[in-house]
Amino acid sequence: MKKILLVDDNEPDRVLYRRYLGRQLGHERLALCEATSGEEALALYAAERPDCVVLDNNLPDFDGIELLADLQQLARPSSPCVVMITGGGNEQLAVQALNAGALDYLVKGQFDQELLCKTVLHALEKHEWQQYENRYHAELGGINQQLRDSLHALDASRRELAEQARQLQAANQQLARTNLDLDNFVYAASHDLKQPVNNLRGLFEELRQASVSTDPDTALMWRLVDESLHTLNATITDLGTVVQEQRQPGTTRPPERVVLAEVLAEVLTTLRPQVVAAGATIEVDFASLPAVCYVPGSLRTILLNLVANALKYSQPGRPPGVVLRSRHTPGGPLLQVQDNGLGIDLVRHGQQLFQLFQRLHPEAASGTGVGLFLVNRLVQAQGGRIEVASQPGQGTLFSVYLGDSSALGVARA
């Protein structure tokens, strides 16, 4: 249904327009309303919002161009659909009407029913198309604005990320310098402290040999001082080893084919006094994976520390039993060291297991808390990881995944 507003102060002309337009225009049904003055036309337009206005230029209270301007104000933000009817021979007025916003014009007395209907229908179609274009451009403008806003936000985010990256890089560089300075300090301190500690041990031996006291408490004092000096010396040595490992990663030997049984034989030779003293049994099963590609010194240090801990933290009254196995797994080559010793309460101490200077059984044996820290760092340096399963009083299983690049398959004899 289309609403048409007829604005003309001449009754016969309005009757003619009603008859020409009828109740239907093409496929569109029509509803006609009439105004005889400019004031009435403005009131009807505000109330009815007609789809098209057929406007006579000569009204008693308004000039047609002025009324057209007022209709445009009422129609904002849209625009009115107006067909201006002018007097004969006044083409200049018609041009003014078109320039002022009328969609078409007719000369009074020079059109019939067909021309009026075509003109009004064309004006309606043109107006609908203009409205569509306006909506399209408005939507496109909104999308463009959103894109501009998004680009501005993206640029701001990029600048922020670049600044954060710069700050992070600067912080990392500062941290690297700090760590290097700290490592250098610790290494120098551990190196420089060795000689004073050795001097103390020498003085201690001289004092103990020169002592003639028979007091039992004196003997206990000598033993405690000896143990303290031994612990201090071991701590300094181990600390220097850890720092040296971290200070010179580039000087580490490249991975090579290592036969596990040969490395274990070296380790057991070093630990032979502890094995014999504890009455320990060592079981080995390297049949599934007899060799791996690894840094020989690192693998020796890993096995030495794990086996030494298995011997050191044994269950009182139970000879140590150590089992070593190797095999392929989906997670990479696996080396396992299992013991029947004191075990670890992983709920309480799991987070501390590989921390530097952490000792979980200080009452069981002397130590510095460096071994497992060093083992973990060596394994991680090769892209591997360590998993631990343990029960207090039952023993511990260390599963060392050596990294994807470690496997050589079954070694040739």
Per-residue pLDDT, 336: 93
Our CA dihedral for 259, 264, 270, 276, rounded to 10 degrees, sits at -150
Lowest-confidence region among 179-193, 265-279, 356-370: 356-370
Give the other-Cβ count within 10 Å of 257's Cβ.
Answer: 12
Query: Which pair of tokens denotes residue 354?
Result: 């590989």
Per-residue pLDDT, 184: 59
Under 8 Å between Cβ of 84 and 57: yes
Per-residue pLDDT, 88: 63
Tell me the pLDDT band of 409, cut-offs 50, 70 and 90: very low
Residue 133 pLDDT greater than 50, yes or no: yes
Tell me the pLDDT band of 412, cut-offs 50, 70 and 90: very low
Identity of residue 82? V
Question: 275-315 pLDDT, tens per residue?
Answer: 998 899 999 999 999 999 988 878 888 898 899 888 888 88
Rounded Cα–Cα distance for residues 345 and 360 (Å): 9
2-111 is a CATH 3.40.50.2300 domain: yes
Q: Is the pTM for the entire model greater than 0.75?
A: no
The residue among 162 and 183 whose pLDDT is bigger is: 162
Rounded Cα–Cα distance for residues 72 and 59 (Å): 18
Where exactly are the structural domains of the chain? 2-111, 180-247, 252-406
Question: 58-86 pLDDT, tens per residue?
Answer: 899 988 889 999 999 998 888 899 999 98
Per-residue pLDDT, 262: 92
Question: 194-236 pLDDT, tens per residue?
Answer: 667 777 777 777 777 777 667 777 777 777 777 677 666 666 6
Strand spans (E) along 50-168:
52-56, 82-86, 104-107
Question: 97-125 pLDDT, tens per residue?
Answer: 888 889 998 988 888 888 988 999 999 88
Identity of residue 302? I
- Rounded mean pLDDT of the chain? 81
Helix (H, G, I), strand (E, B) or coil at 262: helix
- Between β-strands 395-401 and 385-391, what pairing exists: parallel, antiparallel or unpaired? antiparallel
163 exposure class (CB count in 10 Å sphere: 0-12, 13-18, 19+): exposed
Question: 350-405 pLDDT, tens per residue?
Answer: 576 766 555 554 554 555 556 788 888 888 888 888 898 988 888 889 999 988 65
Residue 410 pLDDT greater than 60, yes or no: no
**Fold designation for 252-406:** Heat Shock Protein 90 (3.30.565)
* Nearest one of 286, 256, 254 to 381, comparing CA atoms: 254
Query: Which pair of tokens denotes residue 54?
Result: 């057929």
